[in-house]
Structures are given as structure tokens and as C-alpha cells.
Amino acid sequence: MMKISKIEYYLPQQVLTNEDLEKQFPEWSSERIQEKVGISQRHISSDSETVLDMAVQSSEKIFENYDRNKVDFILFCTQSPEYFLPTTACILQDRLGLRKNIGAIDFNLGCSGFVYGLAFAKGLIAAGIAKSILLVTSETYTKHIHPDDKGNRSIFGDASASAIIEKAEGNDYQFCLGTDGSGAENLMVKKGAFKKDFELNPEHEFGPENIYMNGPEIFNFTIENIPGLVKETLEVNSMTMDDIDHFVFHQANSFMLNYLRKKTKIPVEKFYIDMEKTGNTVSATIPIALKNMMDKGMLKEGDKVLMAGFGVGYSWGATIMEI
């Protein structure tokens, strides 16, 4: 078994409020945005601020109370890497002053990234490759959003979260992972890598360098797949809904989460929603939620938490961890 020993996160200083959006889009009131997505503000990285800069900030918070020399592997999840090459995780090792005899690798995943990172960490620990893993999820989706895209600007925020994953005694919980690349174009930035002969979706209002999200299709994908993911995760771990103390899903938007909660019949008191002050921070939403729950005293030793991430790819994953 493994455990999450520590979590810290960093939010950029610049804040975009619903009132700010209302000034640019008068047809959208701040109250309507709050009601629609459950978000009142989101943090926006500055023009010169990157996922690496934010990762340093969240990781240094970890090392205020954890010996950085214990870290023997870095897993860095981002879809906004510092460069095509080299790997951002390698630069992070140097920026943090970590040992040189450690592993470091990037992986490109979005909303399911934290759960996938935990799965990778489990494999590294089980294989005896690593004992203390720094798992970082850092994202700057807002840099992809067109200034006139009021829908995506109301949802996404930037953030970085860092966690220490270590071996622990206890139950060995299993993962359920899934992929359906047929939905790739429903959340995509078409320009920026080596694909040159792209065509824009007819409904794409902005340029190929801007993020495009087909909200209804993303919603349908989520509703069709995630209830089954929860059921499968409970079954492979020989558990029932009653055995779980908390359910923490990727914080996409409050409407989707409440719909999922009702569809999966999760008791409201077990279901945590926390995105009002941060927005959808992609791969960082689950660790941010967990950290906030810890700080509020909501998690106690022995609690079992079912985490589920889902979105861009399409990609999804879930597991159970014991606090």
C-alpha cells in the first residue's frame, strides 16, 4: 500500500472574478456564472509565469516540513510543458536542488492526471524503484483560452499541486483506468505541436491555438462513463458505497458534479465540492480538494477516500486511498 504523506498547492496572484467577467460580458451576470458553474473566482498565471514556476512554488511548500533529500522520483503531470524538450521534470529537479540519482519524467494528461500519477507511483513503489515520489500536477490552461471565450474563461483557472507519495502498511487498493480517444476533438488545442494539416470544427469560434471544448459532449461522456467507473472501482476493491467515507471527484463544474452525485446515489454528506475560489484547475483539482479537506479537519486517520478523475482525452481513472 502507499499513502499521500503531504500535499501543498500554489495559486497565481492574479484573480479573475465573476464581476470582472460581467464587465466584459454584460449579458452574463456574476450571479448567473456562480449558479451555472459554482465558481466565483479563478487564479490566472501571469504572462511570464509557467507550470515550472508554479511547480517550484508548490513543491517548496512541501519541503518546509519534509526532507527533500528523501525524494527519489519526480512525476510531473502537465499539458503545458516548459518546452517540447527537455522534460520539465528534469528542470524541476535542478530548480528544487534535489539529488541527481533520482528519476524524473513528465506525463501528458489532464483531468485524470492525479489519479494516473498515483497509479504510476504505486508501480514504482511496488517494483522497488522508488520509496518517496514527488507527484506534481501543474497547469496553465488559461494561456490557451481566447479573451472573448466567456464560457471557458468562467470555468478554468491555473494552479500547481505537489504531493509526496510513500510506501505504507495496510490495504492495497486497486485502480480502474479508461481511455476513449474517439472523443479527443471535443477538448483540444489543435495548433502548437507538429500536426500541421488540421481543420477546425465548424463551431470553433476562435483560432487553432485556442482551446476548444464541446461542453455538451464532455458532459455526455462524463455521465455515460463515471457512474460505471465508481461501481467498478468499488467492485474491484470488494467494497460498497457504505465503506467509503469521502468521494472526491475532479472539480469540473458544480452542475456536472451534482448531476453525477445524484446519478451515482452518493450521499451528499460524503461528496466534496470545492472549486468556488479556484475554478477548474484540471489535474490539480483533486489534490487541492484533498488539501483543503485536511486543513478543515474533514479527514481523519483511517478514512477511505474514493477519487475519480475524468476529462480530456477522453481519459478517466479512479482509486481508493486510506488516510
Residues near 312 by Cβ (< 8 Å), separated by ≥ 6? 79, 109, 110, 111, 187, 188, 282
Q: Which of 111, 144, 152, 176 is catalytic?
A: 111
Mean pLDDT to the nearest integer, 162-183: 93
Axis crossing angle, helix 254-264 with helix 215-236, rounded to the nearest 10: 40
Whether 90 is catalytic is no
> Which residues, 6 or more positions from 119, have their beta carbon under 8 angstroms from its beta carbon?
175, 177, 317, 319
Question: What CA–CA distance (Å, rounded) separates 152 from 113?
Answer: 20
d(CA 196, CA 14): 34
| Crossing angle between the packed helical segments 30-37 and 254-264, to the nearest 10 degrees | 30
Q: How far apart are CA 243 and CA 220, in angstroms?
A: 28
| pLDDT of 208 higher than 90 | no
Q: How confident is the model at residue 125 (pLDDT cuts 50, 70, 90)?
A: very high
In the predicted structure, residue 295 carries a pLDDT above the cut 90: yes
Amino acid found at 256: M
Per-residue pLDDT averaged across 262-286, rounded?
96
- The pLDDT of residue 247 is above 90: yes
Residue 319: the pLDDT is 98
For 172, half-sphere exposure in the C-beta direction (CA atoms, 13 angstrom radius) is 6
Give the model confidence (pLDDT) of 189-206 as tens digits. Answer: 988 888 877 777 777 778
Among residues 43, 144, 246, 250, the one annotated as catalytic is 250
| pLDDT of 203 | 72
Residue type, 259: Y
Cis status of the peptide bond prior to 86, with omega within 30 of 0: yes
On average, the pLDDT of the chain sits at 95
Residue 231 has pLDDT above 90, yes or no: yes
CA 155 vs CA 11, 158, 171: distances in Å: 15, 10, 37
Give the sign of the dihedral formed by CA 40, CA 272, CA 11, CA 52: negative
Q: Does residue 122 contact residue 2 with C-beta atoms inside 8 Å?
A: yes
Q: Is 253 one of the annotated active-site residues of the chain?
A: no
Q: Average pLDDT in the 54-81 region? A: 97
The DSSP code for 77 is E
CB contact at 8 A, 104 and 87: yes
Q: What is the pLDDT of residue 192?
A: 87
Which residues neighbour 321 within 8 Å (Cβ) at sequence distance 6 or greater?
A: 2, 3, 4, 118, 173, 304, 305, 307
Query: Around Cβ 141, how many Cβ atoms within 10 Å?
Result: 25
Cell of 110: 489532464
Confidence of residue 291 (pLDDT cuts 50, 70, 90): very high
User: What does the pLDDT read at residue 139?
Assistant: 98
Q: Is the dihedral of CA 215, 176, 71, 250 positive or negative?
A: positive
Question: What's the alpha-carbon Rg for the chain, to the nearest Å?
Answer: 19
Measured between alpha carbons, how far is 211 from 231 in angstroms, rounded to an integer? Answer: 32
Q: Would you state the cell numbers that stand for residue 209, as one nine-digit string?
A: 491555438
Count Cβ neighbours within 10 Å for each residue of 184-215 and write b for 16 or more, e otherwise. eebbbbbeeeeeeeeeeeeeeebeeebbbbbe
Percent of the chain at pLDDT above 70?
100
Active site residue 111: yes
Q: Count CA atoms within 13 Å of residue 38 on its CB side.
A: 14
Mean predicted confidence (pLDDT) in 78-88: 96
